Structure 1
Amino acid sequence: MPPAAETVLDEVDGEGGDGGVRRRPGPRPWRRPGPAGAAALAASLFTAVLLCLATALSRTYPFGPVTRNVVDLGQQYLPFHAYGRALLLGETHGDAFLNWNSGFGSNFLGDIGTYLSSPFDLLVVAFPADRIELALYVVTAAKISAAGGAAALLFVRLCPGPWPVAAALGTAYALSGWTLNHGATVPMWLDGLLAFPLLCLVAEWARTGRRPVLGPVIVALAWIANFYTAYMATLGAAVFLAVRLLTSDETVTARQRIAGTLRATRSVLIGIGLAAPLVVVVFLGTKVADPTPVTTFAPAAWTDLLARFLPATEGVTSPALFIGTPALALALTLPFNRAVVPRVRAGWTAAVVLATLSLQWEPTHLLWHAGASPNGNPYRQTFVLSGLLLIAAWLSVARGVPRPTALLAGGALLGTLAWAARGSVEIDAWTFPAFLAAAALTLAAALLAGQAARRKAAALPALPVLSAAAVVLFVAAQAGETVVTGKRIEERQRNEVSWSPLTGPWHAAAAREVARADAWPRHRTDPGEVPGGNDVLLVGGQGADYYSSLTAEVTSSTLTSLGFGHYAKGRHPVTLDNPVTDALFSIGTRLRSEPTEPVRQDARPRARVTVTTTSVPPLVTVRARAARAPRPGDSAFVRQELLLGSSVYELPEDTRRTGHTLTARCPAGSEVWLWAPDYEGTATLAGKGTSAVRIVQGTSAVSVSVREREGPATVDFDGRPPAVRAPMQALGTVPASGEVSIDLLPDKAGIRLPRQPVGCLVRARLDSAVRRLTVDGATRVSAGGHSVTAELPPGSTGVAVLAAPRISGWRCAAGDAEAVPARAYQGLVAIPLDGRATTVSCSFRPPGLRLGGAVGAAALLALAATAGFHRRRQEFTRSAPADRSAGNADG
């Protein structure tokens, strides 16, 4: 490479050097975008087109009838965006601090920082409530398209070259295997995809001493949007900066390299500080969240890792490394491309190799994931490696098509990789046909580009059609392979992982009934089971259903101990249709749904929705004395009675199990309840009964069991510890003989039951307990966005109990006393009473808000100081030449 080309690799925006004197350009008239702008715009548009095409070919919504709500997309992100839209439009009972709908009261600022803090999420307000899936698709497409544009911009800023190729490589980054396999169904991770190229630009500005204010602002936006993947993107940008500093021109001194590193560190620290008001709240929220089981990292088989570079592969146990055969071929030519200076080749090759190895080594795996091996996908940082590979591809092609020797060597590496991966379980039927077709088109593009280069080198008339045809073939190969990969991943995910149906008439009917019956805060309205999960966020109401990475441990443990079920290892508690817990949590209105047809992937679900209203105690009740502390062996029936303050169940002492049959004696006319959280199978109460309907939302699919039969009532249990615990369920009424016989039919060998699985509810006892709590409870309850106030009968003593889990952040006071951290009563919020106070009040403030605000204020001051210092420095450097000139004239 000639010296001029060697220097250009160290330039940004066409400017060389490291911190020399620069003049601020004056106002310029509008003009057409240059190569960088054209590349960014083309990459964004091209990315959007290919993403939509892949979606359409897989017949997936919004271009087909099939749901795209796989895994957490349907159970978390769709409901959170629906609720976020309602919050922005002022249609919720809660506010940015507290979500009254979910988990009987949850820290919503933490959820905002986890799921809804990206600027792109504001787009949901442009769509009606019944088009929330379309809104989420648009948000997803916008993030992916922006990432493609940012990557293309980075490439051209890093090294000038043909902008159409930069646009194609930007699209390759945006639609990498990581995006198609994971990011598209976990929209919050896509903010990290966009953050990586932007943070690399920030690193480049720091290296050259430019944009000291904009850099920290971009860091702050990245960390606010999603601090989890922003952390990974920041590590990736650090690798980028290290390579750039180590491969700089020899004229760059060690002092200049250190200065660039310090400037980058300053930008990162100030940016993270600006994001602290949200980041600290989320961080502290994770500390009190329900813990997931410890995961031991197991590296993927090397055959599977190599296979993931190929198209149409899918899975979560190996890294999704696909970037397209044309782009990968270019990246593999870099070590052999003698047109690129040796230090640049060595630096970027080492970065890519080490980043790949870091995926497979546990210490670096933990570094990428902030010290904790995640449950589920263990390769969430893969988008960074994809970015590094594409930077290598761009550096190899920016100055022209690599020479035949480099192309042959890169092609040999590519062929060896494909051959080594041929036996992997990740290989799809479409993998090698798509790979071979893309490789053939790439080879044809290289031959045409080489012919054009040879004509130019021989001073022959250049044929623009050759270069244009080469670019077209390259782009076609990249686009076709990407679309095939996206299509196959969509189809395989629907068949292999859990899914939720599209929102439809079932959800609309439930939402209408909830809105009609809502009586908050007089009592709660529980929408019951609606397909999709996080039901109250989708259709409204106030219930236990809640699925978040920040589900508090006290919420999960309290509800589980009372007989509620859960998914996601405790982070997704679900509703419990039980009259005792309805009384405990003031659920006065309950919806029950009966599906009118099986729930399918390609249809919107329908159901008949009924509404039942019962008398329940108010949201704030009074216990005259404290109940005994729960014991480790207490059943869910005992835990309910302790919290209620009354004995309402008859707990048979002589429950016997013979084979697959449970027998016991209970009072005639009482209701039989079975508590079997770890049991998977069916339970039938012998005798005359009614049909039973149970929605099962497991790990493989959402299915609806509709039994229309006469005879005993059959109920499904879906316990699969530790991920899934089944809620207690009613089996029917005890006959006049008092004999209870329960037939169990497990889905697999072995029946796991607790020590006291059967409880018989005596309704008369429960009615008496409800009347007592109503008479002694609050006479009036009012609730704000994150507060509640209750008026109590005069002379109330003991403890006032707010029917909400005692999560961190609650502060309460009785009467005019100063608010203090709330106490807990059997897991719920409690306020001691002395007989003089006639009111109690509680308010919620997310933990970490004050600390984060203080850090954010300090970071803002640091940013202002940086701006002031930079401005004074610019003024000094501008005036210095004029001063010297004047001095010479005087002399």
Structure 2
Amino acid sequence: MPPAATPAPAPDRDGARGGLRATRNPLLLAPAAAGPLAALVFVLATALARSHPLGPYTRNVVDLGQQYLPYHAYWRALLLGDTHGDAFLNWNSGFGAGFLGDIGTYLSSPFSLLVVLFPADRPELALYVITVLKIAAAGAAMAALLIRLRPAGRAAGPWPLAALLGAAYALSGWTFNHGASVPMWLDGLIAFPLLCLVAEWARTGRRPVLGPLVVAVAWIANFYTAYMATLGAALFLAVRLFTADATDGTDATDGTNGAGVTGAAPAADAQGTPGAPSAARRRLAALLRAGWTVCLGVGLAAPLVLVVFSGTKYADPTPETVFAPASWTELFGRLLPATAQVNTPALFIGTPALVLALSLPFNRAVAPRVRRAWTVLIVLVTLSLQWGPTHLLWHAGASPNGNPYRQTFVLCGLLLVAAWLSAAPGVPCPAALLGAAVLLGALALAARTSPDIDAWTYPAAGAAALLALAAALLALRAARRAPAGHAGRSAADPRPAGASRALPVAAAVLLLAAQAGETAVGGMRVERQQRAEVAWAPRIGEWQRAVGAETARADAWPAYRTDPGPLPGGNEPLLLGGEGADAYSSLTTENTSRTLDSLGFGHYAKGRHPETLDNPVTDAIFSIGARVRSEATEPVRQDAAPRGTATTARTPVPPLVTVRPGGPGAVDPADSAFRNQELLLGAAVYAQPAVRRTGTTLTARCPAGTALWFWAPEYHGTAALAGAAPVDYDGRPPAVRAAMATLGTVPADGRIRIDLVPEKGLTLPDRPVGCLDRARLAAAVARLTATGATRVTATGHTLTAELPPGSTGTAVVAVPRTTGWRCAAGAAAPVSARSHRGLIAVPLDGRATRVSCSYRPPGVRLGAAAGAAALLALLATALLARRRAGRPAGASPEGRQEFTDRPREARSSGRDADYAARRTGA
């Protein structure tokens, strides 16, 4: 805080020692205590849940194990130069996928850089530590915001309370239920209080350079939740402008300070006389400053944000989701501890903190305008969670698949601001606490039928309420003694000095025990419920390490691809190395998904998670010359790291770039996957017999000795060739598509009987059976190898192939053709790549002996231009602010303070007062 906003406190002399005791700064103490407290309680909850790394059970639930763990493992390898690709392109996943958008989606948080400090085989520990540090940072940021909502020149409340409420924000139900398993969203949790601080700077005309930088970092770290945090900060600013004067932190009409505590005088306009037009102009100026700050910050983040935005345009579209609001019973229930659910808002902030927030409407120590404004804001934000149009506004116009209440952390933050405003002036009066208790009781009673209520919910909330009540009674008793025992205690007072401190300390200890204990127990229960009710992946163990070692030994990129094969979790090529089809990203392109679907690959996540396919024809198409096959040696469990063995099978395959006669062709996703494979291979290798269906039995005839493949993407159940082991199919459209699989070898008589055991309805394609002739496949591979590239080189985001002289037709690169690829034959200028049945195609004229392709993420050039313009505008803003401050560029007479609009006389008087205060205590 600048000296004018925060005058130097008077020194505190210790009479017993006869010396000077250094003044404690609550602006630093509150965040310094909130961060470690939040981290400690979160770690305690992990230990109580016996979750890894503080217990044997896996934490890899839902996307934590399928996305964030593999991405962070790959991020470490990329930062240390151990990958084939670069920041533009990831050669490991999806047969070559853009990566800059994934960085902006999953990895651009500054905290993600910490993965380089951990061993390569401990990504789970790295991700857990990053999660804990993000939670600590969120608690510190909220405490820093709360302690600054105070009267100018004096503290508005005790810093321990700000620290406790800051930790409560970081450990809300949203954090345990969603943020801890989707770590990228935790950056939005940090961003909200920071952006509220930026709003305060804009309101008071301060920090014109630091503000945009904070906005930029928030949007770079995770633009999705930063957008929600920005909306929340805008609402925060609107209420602050309504309740507090825009220049000195005092209320314009209620005679209150900026925190809503009565006692400050109304503000005057610039001429020293009150006037509504002047106040209106100041508020308008604050709004313009805030808008300019956000525009600059988002512009600085544009080089990454626009790449992500462009990537969403080409991403595989998910089915449209119609928002269905949660019942009010469930919403009220989520205010209580130990509740977990994906489709309801996680609003738990701790019973003590919630009581303080609910006491604000009844607390007469807070100005009426402040009480009304914050109460109305919280009610309106709560209602906005439940209304379709505002639901779309919170989610940038697109209703998300999955959790529809991702913005809940903003409401949690506003509730804690309300709790601070009510408690900062002192313990709320008994009437206010009683009103809050009655309101909380009504909410808890209404929630009793909610299916989210856990057996621990009411006992934990009741215990916390009793401890909080005891803390309130002690604090009220201490407050009654305060005039005689603190500020006004005379030297003749016979009571020992420690007596006046014992009650507040005991109250603080009880409040801490209530808030932290309930949060730790509630967090423990949420983790256990998630393990029992949602999808999970095992911890990293000997099985994954064995596969990783085999993959590293077999890898010979770009001579051929090495596929690590499927393991529980997904995104294996990012976690274990190699180059396969498996990829799970929100930016998986539609062309990649549709191309692989048409060839018989399976997928999860409605198409955005293609999975590997162990098929010799697709191995030849995509040049997979080494395939790691592994299996678990014991059942995969939640409470143990998996063990397994791995072996490598090598197969002759064509090079990554092959030459086909004729021009580029299209593929029909609705056609038979066997037919599409043959079209892309350029040879007929399957017999596709007519199939007769009798109930759940299929019969057909195929050449003896051929490999029988069964393709039924929507089938859920088992399929078995007579006399062979059954094979599982997991089709659950539209979310899950089952991959084709081999059922065995056609018997000598050529008769096929397939027994199906469906778990749901039986839906089959017209041609579900294909019998592969391996001799024909070998001949096709030999032909493509003879006419294909003699040498392939891949570096970063480029690929170059040397071709036999006189090559004509089309060079086909075994990489899905996505927007951003540019290719050239010979010395020709690069142009947008063409498509051959979904793969990159380069037309040949018989003269070129070399083709080259490079990838540039869509949106990167526009983003760079926008970022450069924003940087120039920021520099101009800095120069203008220095000129208005009346001092030359580079001069900073007040040290680290940033630019301010105060006149030189005010700055001088502020420094003189600061100096005099220091001299007084010298």
Structures share fold, TM-score greater than 0.5: yes
The equivalent of 2:286 in structure 1 is 260
User: What residue identity is the alignment partner of 1:658?
Assistant: T
1:36 Cα deviation (Å)? 1.6
2:260 corresponds to: none
Q: CA deviation at 1:880?
A: 6.0
2:360 aligned with 1:324: no
Measured after TM superposition, the shift of residue 16 of structure 1 is: 5.5
Partner of 1:811: 822
**Preserved contact between residue 104 and residue 542 of structure 1 (Cα < 8 Å):** yes
User: Which residue of structure 1 aligns with residue 406 of structure 2?
Assistant: 380
Q: What is the one-letter code of the residue matched to 2:740? A: M
**Correspondent of 1:203 among 188, 199, 204:** 199
Structure 1 residue 744 and structure 2 residue 756: aligned?
Answer: yes
Within a 5 Å distance, the mapping from 1:868-887 to structure 2 comes to 868-875=879-886, 881=905
Deviation at 1:13, TM superposition (A): 6.6
- Report the TM-score, using the length of structure 1 for normalisation: 0.92
Alignment of 1:423-822 (within 5 A): 423-457=449-483, 463-626=500-663, 629-631=666-668, 633-652=670-689, 654-687=690-723, 712-748=724-760, 750-822=761-833
Distance (whole Å) between structure 2 residues aligned to residue 285 and residue 543 of structure 1? 21
The letter for the 1-side match of 2:873 is A
Provide the C-alpha distance between the structure 2 equivalents of 1:789 and 1:451, rounded to a whole number of angstroms. 79
Whichever residue aligns with residue 189 of structure 2, its letter is L
In 1, are the aligned partners of 2:664 and 2:835 still within 8 Å (CA)? no
CA contact (8 A) 1:13 1:157 kept: no
Deviates more, 1:237-246 or 1:444-453: 444-453
Please give the per-residue CA displacement for 1:604-660, whole angstroms capped at 9, x wherever unaligned: 1111211000100000001112476434641000010111111110111x2111111
Q: Deviations over 1:582-625 (max 9, x none)?
A: 00000000011121111100111111211000100000001112
Q: Deviations over 1:764-818 (max 9, x none)?
A: 1111110111011001100111000000011111110100000111000000000
Aligned partners of 1:628, 1:733: CA distance in 2, in Å?
A: 32
CA distance in 2, matches of 1:646, 1:33: 80
Contact 2:666 2:838 in 1 (8 A): no
Indicate the SS of the match to 2:693: strand
Distance in 2 between the 1:878 and 1:723 partners? Answer: 59
Indicate conservation of the 8 Å contact 1:118/1:225, yes or no.
yes
* DSSP 3-state at the match of 2:805: coil
**What is the CA–CA distance in structure 2 between the aligned matches of 1:612 and 1:455, rounded to whole Å?**
81
Corresponding residue of 1:152: 143
Give 1:463 shift.
2.0
Give me the whole-angstrom Cα distance separating, in 2, the residues matched to 1:794 and 1:509.
43
- CA distance in structure 1 between the partners assigned to 2:611 and 2:573 by the alignment: 10
Pair 1:843 & 2:854 matched? yes
The amino acid of 1:742's aligned partner reads: I
Aligned residues: 838
Separation in structure 1 between the aligned mates of residue 681 and residue 147 of structure 2, nearest angstrom: 67
Equivalent pair of 2:664/2:841 in contact (CA under 8 Å): no
Name the counterpart of 2:436: 410
For 2:175 and 2:863, locate their aligned partners in 1 and report how far apart those are by CA, in whole Å.
Answer: 31
The residue matched to 2:513 in structure 1 has which SS? Answer: helix
Deviation at 1:483, TM superposition (A): 0.4
Moved >3 Å (runs of 4+): 12-17, 30-33, 457-462, 626-633, 876-885
Q: CA distance change for structure 1 residues 884 and 509 in 2, over 3 Å: closer, same or farther?
A: closer
Q: Does 1:76 align with 2:72?
A: no
Q: Give 1:362's match in structure 2, choosing from 363, 384, 388.
A: 388
Paired residue for 2:171? 175
Pair 368,879 (structure 1): closer, same or farther in 2 beyond 3 Å: closer
CA distance in 2, matches of 1:453, 1:489: 37
- Find the counterpart in structure 1 of residue 29 from structure 2: 38
Q: Could you say if the C-alpha distance between residues 14 and 155 of structure 1 is closer, same or farther in structure 2, counting changes exceeding 3 Å? A: farther
- The reply to whether residue 91 of structure 1 matches residue 82 of structure 2 is yes
2:668, 2:427 → 1: CA distance? 73
CA distance in 2, matches of 1:155, 1:520: 54
CA contact (8 A) 2:471 2:510 kept: yes
TM-score with structure 2 length normalisation?
0.89
Q: Deviations over 1:831-869 (max 9, x none)?
A: 011111000000000011100000000000010001101
Distance 2:544 2:304 in 1: 32
Taking the TM superposition and a 5 Å limit, the aligned residue runs for 1:23-62 are 34-62=25-53
Residues 322-381 of structure 1 deviation map (CA, whole Å, 9 limit, x = unaligned): 000000000001011111111111111111111111000011100000000001000000
Tell me: CA distance 1:882–1:483, structure 2 relative to 1, closer, same or farther (3 Å).
Answer: closer
Distance 1:508 1:879 in 2: 65
Letter in 2 for 1:415: G
* Paired residue secondary structure (2:54): coil
User: Kindly tell me: are residues 631 and 166 of structure 1, through their superposed partners in 2, closer, same or farther at Cα, counting changes over 3 Å?
Assistant: closer
**Aligned-pair Cα RMSD in Å:** 1.8
2:220 paired residue number: 224
**Cα separation, 2, equivalents of 1:551 and 1:883:** 55
On the 8 A contact 1:627/1:643 being kept in 2, the answer is no
State, as a whole percentage, how many aligned pairs show the same letter.
69
Deviation, 1:881, is 4.9
Deviation at 1:31, TM superposition (A): 7.5
- How many angstroms apart in 1 are the aligned matches of 2:28 and 2:381? 29
Does 1:867 pair with 2:878?
A: yes
Q: Is the 8 A contact 1:627 1:645 kept in 2?
A: no
Structure 1 residues 451-486: Cα deviation after superposition (integer angstroms, max 9, x where no partner): 111223577767211111111111110001000110
State the alpha-carbon separation in 1 of the partners of residues 105 and 2 from structure 2: 35
**Using the alignment, how far apart are the partners of 1:810 and 1:296 within structure 2?**
35
Deviation at 1:554? 0.5
**How far did 1:52 drift?**
0.5
Q: Distance in 2 between matches of 1:90 and 1:627?
A: 36
Shift of residue 295 of structure 1?
Answer: 0.4
Q: Is the Cα contact below 8 Å between 1:102 and 1:537 reproduced in 2?
A: yes
Instruction: From 289, 293, 297, give the equivalent of 2:323.
Output: 297
Matched residues in 2 for 1:819 and 1:775: separation?
Answer: 26
Alignment-mate amino acid for residue 35 of structure 1: P
- CA 1:878/1:674 → structure 2, altered by over 3 Å: closer, same or farther? closer
**Cα contact 1:69–1:501 (8 A) shared by 2:** yes
- Find the residue that maps to 1:557 and give its secondary structure: helix
Gaps of 5+ in 1: 1-11, 24-29, 688-711, 886-891
Give secondary structure in 1 for the equivalent of 2:628.
Answer: strand
Map of 1:702 onto structure 2? none
Distance 1:648 1:174, change over 3 A: same
Structure 2 residue ranges without an equivalent (≥5) = 9-20, 151-155, 245-250, 253-266, 270-278, 490-494, 888-900, 910-922
Equivalent positions of 1:327-338 (< 5 A) are: 327-338=353-364
SS in 2 for 1:120: helix
Distance 2:687 2:908 in 1: 98
Deviation at 1:879, TM superposition (A): 7.8
